Structures are given as C-alpha cells and as structure tokens.
Amino acid sequence: MTLRQVDPVSTSVVLHRGKDKAIRNHHHWIYSGAVKFLPEFEAGSILPVRSADGDLLGHAYFNTHGSIAGRMLSFGADPPLVALEKNIAEALALRRSFFDAGTNAYRLINGEGDRVPGLIVDSYEDVLVIQISTLGMEMLKPVVIEILVKSARPRSVYEKSNSPSRREEKLPPKEGLIWGEPIQTVYITESGFRFEVDIVQSQKTGFYLDQREMRKLVRFLSPGRKVLNAFAYSGGFSVFALAGDALSVDSVDSSERAIELARNNCLLNGFGGDRVRFFAADVFEFIRSQRLDYDLVILDPPAFAKRKSEVVRACRAYKDMHRVVFKKIPPGSFVVTFSCSYFVNEPLFRQVIFQAAAEASRDVRVLQRHHQAFDHPLNVFHPEGDYLKGFLLYVT
C-alpha cells in the first residue's frame, strides 16, 4: 500500500532551536511547543522532521489535535515504513526468545517500548488483539495488518481500540474483527496454567499480561495463607494463589462476567471446593463491610486516573482503599498493590501508601517493587511508557 508522504525540506516539519535534543535521543514524541514550522498536511500523514539547522532527524506522523503533535516512526535517514516493518519483526523475534509451550500468550508489540508508537498488539495463542491509539497509526493500520499476518501467521486479528487517548486524536472507539476467523473465546496457557479469554467482551485486550511476573510472586507467597484477590477480573492471581497451596482464596470484582470468568478459570485448573469463594461486589464496599481476616491481599484496581485532572480524586481513592485494608488485616500480613494510572507516578503512589499507613497507625514496609513482564519493554529514551507500578508490602 502506498501512503501519502511529503518530502523535500520545504514540506518538512521544522523544530525550534534547542528542541531537537529529545528527538536526537530517540524520544518518540514531538510536543506542539517544539514545532517552529508545520507545512500544510492531512492529519495523520507522515512528514520529515528537521532541526532548526535543517538536519533530517527522521520521520513522524502528525496530528495537531492534541498536545503531542507528532510521533516518530523512524530516526535519521531510515524510511518510515521500512523502520516500521523492521521494528515489528524485531519485536516478534524478541518474544519468541522468551516463551515456550508453557506460555502462549504475550504482548507482541508494546508501543514506544518496541519503537512502534500508537500500537499495542497482544497474542493469545493464534489470535492477535490490536489496540490503536493515534490517528497516524490508524492510517497505517492496513500496512500493520499486512506485516502481522505475514510474520505472526495468526488465525484471527481482532481490534479493541477504545483507549482514552483516541478522544484527544478525535478518533471514535473502534472494535471488531479485522482479519481472519470470527473468534470470541480462546484458551491460553501461562506457566502451565490454562485461562479462558473472552476476546470480545473482555477488559482491555483480554488478559492482564503485564502481571505475569507478579502472579508468580503471589504463588510463592501463598502457601498456608488466606488470600483476598480484590479487583479479581478473570482470576489470574486467584489461580496462582491456589496453585501455591493457599488455605483459601476469595475473589472480588464488581463485574458479574468477570467473576464468572474467574470461577471458570479456577475450575479449568482443578481448583474448587470450600477454599475458593467468589463475590460479585464493589471492592470498596466489600473491604469496609468484611472482617478482612486475610494474610495476603492483592489490590489490582483499574486506572483511577485516566486524565491528569483526575489525579487528586484517584489519590484519595487509593489512600482510602489502603487505609481500610491496613487497618483491618492482621499483623504479619502481606499486601501486593498496584496502580496502572499513568498520571499517578511511583513516588506519588508510594506517598499515598505512606499516608494510608500513617492514618491506619500500622507499620508498613516495602519488600519489593513491581517486576515488569519481559514482553512489556520500556524504552529508556521514552520513560512515559512506564505506566504500571506496584509494591509488595509487609504490614505489622
């Protein structure tokens, strides 16, 4: 497919003097304030990017509707579509080096972490689920699908593009089958355990692949303990806690469908009986109304702050949740807690936990920080991609 690309210098985007350092360091984002000259162009088009002295810095797709005016697809003289195909191929090769038959679900492309801005691709056995967050990548979608089908050879490609960032790009949410067979449910394997993934009715792309390493930690911590899995979704942490020989596991989620999936996934792995309970309930109401006689609590809520204006409200919710848990659980308990709110960074999240511990009059120690899953690489030149943070806490 041929895309509209505008070249010579007269139709290049030119940056203000001194605003090219981040791009030279391979940061993908170009903020609107860094742009000195912007030629006429169709929103989403790929344009050359030059310094104030005329040096070619690379190529980016542009859309002036948001504060991020452009996102770099290639750096230096590399043609943008050649770089796109090369980066997708390298992402696939990297994943194949990590996983074997015991795990057949992983993130194939992690946006800027794989040098492909605006694109998330998760692989569930032979089904790919893609999420596109920018207009430029939306225009590149036919090229991306062609590359993915050729290199990954999936049975199906399903789109779940419903991230909040699409609103800033003036893009409506989009969901549905875009290539191959219509498939609603797949069964994946992670570390030898099986999970049902509802592709169509799922949260995000279907399964929280970014918590793979932390599920292993929960399994390690679970022997002989009573476990609460709050915001349980499809029961990933519950399965690993049961596999770790927990005394009991209670799974709580406000979604009836999520609780159904959690129950199915536990049964799928041979876990049932009296030590497994499920509650379709609001987590905040549950922790306030119950005794919380647990010695391992997992708190993995959805993003409380999806935009910067929601940070104060989100921090209040995080603090209230932790304060109640800290106050009620017995001494010597562990709490595994996370925030996936991009706008609540790790120092702020840690400060909120400190405030909750002080208000609950409990001694809380950090034993470990979140371990990132290998298939969610973070580009060191693009720290903004570091959205998920978490702690293993010891409460006495």
Which class is 81-187 in CATH?
A: alpha beta
Q: Does residue 232 contact residue 301 with C-beta atoms inside 8 Å?
A: no
Q: Determine the angle formed by the axes of helices 80-96 and 135-152, rounding to 10 degrees.
A: 50
Secondary structure (H, E, C), 288-301: HHCCCCCCEEEECC
Which class is 9-78 in CATH?
A: mainly beta
Beta bridge partners of 338: 390
Sorting pLDDT into bands at 50, 70 and 90, what band is 1?
Answer: very low
Residue type, 257: R
Per-residue pLDDT of 252-262, as tens digits, reads: 999 999 999 99
Sorting pLDDT into bands at 50, 70 and 90, what band is 8?
Answer: low
Per-residue pLDDT of 209-244, as tens digits, reads: 999 999 999 999 999 999 999 999 999 999 999 999
Q: Does residue 262 contact residue 281 with C-beta atoms inside 8 Å?
A: no
Q: Determine the angle formed by the axes of helices 311-328 and 346-360, rounding to 10 degrees.
A: 40
The beta strands (E) that lie in the chain are given as 13-15, 29-31, 35-37, 46-50, 56-62, 68-75, 105-110, 119-124, 127-132, 156-161, 174-180, 185-190, 193-198, 226-230, 248-253, 276-280, 296-299, 333-339, 364-369, 389-395
Q: Using DSSP, state whether 143 is helix, strand or coil.
A: helix
Residue of 166, 146, 147, 95 lying closest to 124 (CA atoms): 95
Looking at residue 10, its pLDDT comes to 64
Question: What is the Cα–Cα distance from 240 to 223, expressed in whole angstroms?
Answer: 11
Domain residue ranges of the chain, discontinuous segments joined by +:
9-78, 81-187, 208-395
Q: Does residue 326 contact residue 362 with C-beta atoms inside 8 Å?
A: yes
pTM: 0.91
Residue 308 above 90 pLDDT? no
Instruction: Please enumerate in sequence order all residues whose Cβ is within 8 A of that of 379, keeping only pairs 6 or more positions apart, or say none.
Output: 26, 28, 112, 113, 115, 385
> Using the 8-state DSSP alphabet, how is residue 284 labeled?
H
Is residue 315 part of the annotated active site? The answer reads: no
Per-residue pLDDT of 115-171, as tens digits, reads: 999 999 999 999 999 999 999 999 999 999 999 999 999 999 999 998 888 888 999
CA atoms within 13 A on the CB side of 215: 21
Question: What is the Cα–Cα distance from 317 to 284, expressed in whole angstroms?
Answer: 9
What is the average per-residue pLDDT within 322-343? 95
First to last CA, the chain: 61
| Annotated catalytic residue within 340, 344, 392, 395 | 340
Residue of 209, 255, 260, 276 lying closest to 236 (CA atoms): 209
Question: What is the Cα–Cα distance from 13 to 391, expressed in whole angstroms?
Answer: 42
Question: Tokens 């120690």 correspond to what residue?
Answer: 365
Sorting pLDDT into bands at 50, 70 and 90, what band is 194?
Answer: very high
Instruction: Please enumerate in sequence order all residues whose Cβ is within 8 A of that of 144, keeping only pairs 6 or more positions apart, or say none.
Output: 84, 88, 119, 130, 137
- The listed CATH number (3.40.50.150, 3.40.47.10, 3.65.10.10, 3.40.1190.20) that belongs to domain 208-395: 3.40.50.150
Question: What is the Cα–Cα distance from 351 to 86, expressed in whole angstroms?
Answer: 41
